Amino acid sequence: MNFEILLSFVIATATLAFSPGPDNVFVLIQSAAHGKKSGMAVVCGLMSGCLIHTTLVAFGLSAFIQANDIIYLILKVFGAAYMLFLAFKVYKSKQSLSALSSVASSKDFIKLFKQGFIMNVLNPKVSIFFLAFFPAFIFSDSVPLFKQFYVLGFLFIITSFMVFSSFVLLSGFFSKLFFNSPKRIKFLNRLQSGFFVGIALVILKG
């Protein structure tokens, strides 16, 4: 077992997680809007979704999905449709500064967890990314390949979880930035809505 390869994988994963992207931006927005606990619920949902993609890669289903255009298209359409639904839901929501503070304490964390989970699972590009990324870090000639993929998957999840958790801790800065006026709250809603639309376009484009 080559631990240097595993270390390089962790470093590469941390670099990717720190890079601006849809998931970490979403975590920041949710944490700023609804509090750190809500942000952590989203993080846990996103990381749980990675388990599904790791399993798909480990047992070769990602290659099957990639090789079948119809199945891949169906997954992309479902993923994009869910993102557009979230965009519409956020756009139509009306929140005042006082209402927002009550949401922070009463937000359904299970729903946020499910939202992060579904966001991740319904994006087939995550599986394709894993399929392209993981083989570069095969670390043993004796350990079965599917077990190595699971090891890499868990390392990816743990590393990303730590990075995303640091984003949650920084959310207080964004709370002060956005929630000083109703106009900024409205801007945040529009930002979230546009974010979901952007995710839908990215999924369909791939």
* One-letter amino acid for residue 186 of the chain: K
Element (H, E) at 67: helix 61-67
The answer as to whether 120 is a domain residue is yes
* One-letter amino acid for residue 148 of the chain: Q
The answer as to whether 123 is a domain residue is yes
The answer as to whether 14 is a domain residue is no
**What CA–CA distances, in Å, run from 198 to 15, 84, 140?**
22, 9, 39
The answer as to whether 11 is a domain residue is no
Average of per-residue pLDDT across 22-26: 78
Mean pLDDT comparison of 16-30, 85-99, 133-147, 186-200, highest-scoring range: 133-147
Q: What percent of the chain has a predicted confidence (pLDDT) above 70? A: 83
Residue span of the structural domain in which 148 resides:
22-205
Distance between terminal CA atoms of the chain? 35
Q: How many domains does the chain have?
A: 1
| DSSP track, 51-113 | HHHHHHHHTTHHHHHHH-HHHHHHHHHHHHHHHHHHHHHHHH----HHHHHHHHHH--HHHHH
Q: Residue 4: is it exposed, middle or buried by C-beta count within 10 angstroms (0-12/13-18/19+)?
A: exposed
The CA distance from 125 to 143, in Å, is 27
The answer as to whether 183 is a domain residue is yes
The answer as to whether 4 is a domain residue is no
The CA distance from 173 to 171, in Å, is 5
The CA distance from 112 to 102, in Å, is 16
Who wins on pLDDT, 10 or 16?
A: 10
pLDDT at 107 over 70: no
The answer as to whether 5 is a domain residue is no
What integer pLDDT is reported at residue 10 of this predicted model?
Answer: 93
Element (H, E) at 50: helix 36-58
Query: Taking the model in full, what pTM does it have?
Result: 0.72
The answer as to whether 6 is a domain residue is no
* One-letter amino acid for residue 127 of the chain: S
Mean pLDDT comparison of 4-13, 87-96, 100-109, highest-scoring range: 4-13
What integer pLDDT is reported at residue 174 of this predicted model?
Answer: 61
